[in-house]
């Protein structure tokens, strides 16, 4: 396993839609590297395109910073259900280091995904897990967290990021 370099905005790969994964077993080593990269960052989620893997895969661990690690690899994920209730909260991104933005996300989702054994799952997620999954899922569609902001807020976040660079 190894820590992978994380692409930084405005790398054009971060704005691309990722391809579905065919054989999930081909991803075992990549997913292991993605977990190592996420934990080393230290982050709570990491999507394939953030490390140059243009496939529909992300890894996450919502609670490891407060307790035991509970790694989750999601291959070909789909958000099946989104709650009507929204929550605004600060979001950071490993591809936009040093900057957070207040983003509105659904409070709860039902996520379908395939694991590394090729088994399909459905999970109802709330709280941090729901926010992280939505953030990483967006990456698979080439959407950055600041793309969910109004024009003025988006410009302010990007200006703050550029000032740090």
Long-range contacts of 114-117 (CB under 8 A, 24+ apart): 114/21, 114/24, 114/74, 114/75, 114/76, 115/24, 115/73, 115/75, 116/24, 116/25, 116/27, 116/28, 116/31, 116/73, 116/75, 117/24
Single out the catalytic residue among 136, 153, 160, 162.
136
136 is catalytic: yes
CB atoms within 10 A of CB 51: 21
The CA-atom distances, in angstroms, between 94 and each of 26, 114, 123, 124 are 25, 24, 25, 25
Catalytic residue IDs = 136
């Amino acid at each position: 396993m190894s820590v992978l370099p994380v692409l930084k905005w405005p790398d054009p790969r971060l704005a691309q839609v990722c391809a579905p994964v065919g054989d999930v077993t081909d991803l075992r080593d990549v997913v292991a590297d993605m977990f190592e990269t996420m934990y080393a960052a230290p982050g709570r989620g990491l999507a394939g395109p953030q490390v140059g893997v243009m496939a529909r895969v992300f890894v996450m661990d919502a609670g490891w910073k407060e307790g035991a690690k509970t790694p989750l690899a999601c291959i070909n994920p789909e958000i099946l259900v989104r709650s009507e209730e929204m929550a605004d909260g600060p979001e950071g991104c490993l591809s936009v280091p040093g900057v957070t933005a207040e983003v509105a996300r659904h409070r709860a989702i039902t996520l379908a995904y395939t694991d590394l054994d090729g088994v399909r799952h459905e999970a109802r997620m709330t709280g941090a897990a729901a926010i992280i999954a939505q953030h990483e899922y967006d990456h698979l569609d080439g959407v950055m967290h600041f793309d969910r902001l109004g024009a003025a807020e988006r410009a302010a976040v990007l200006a703050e990021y550029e000032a740090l660079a």
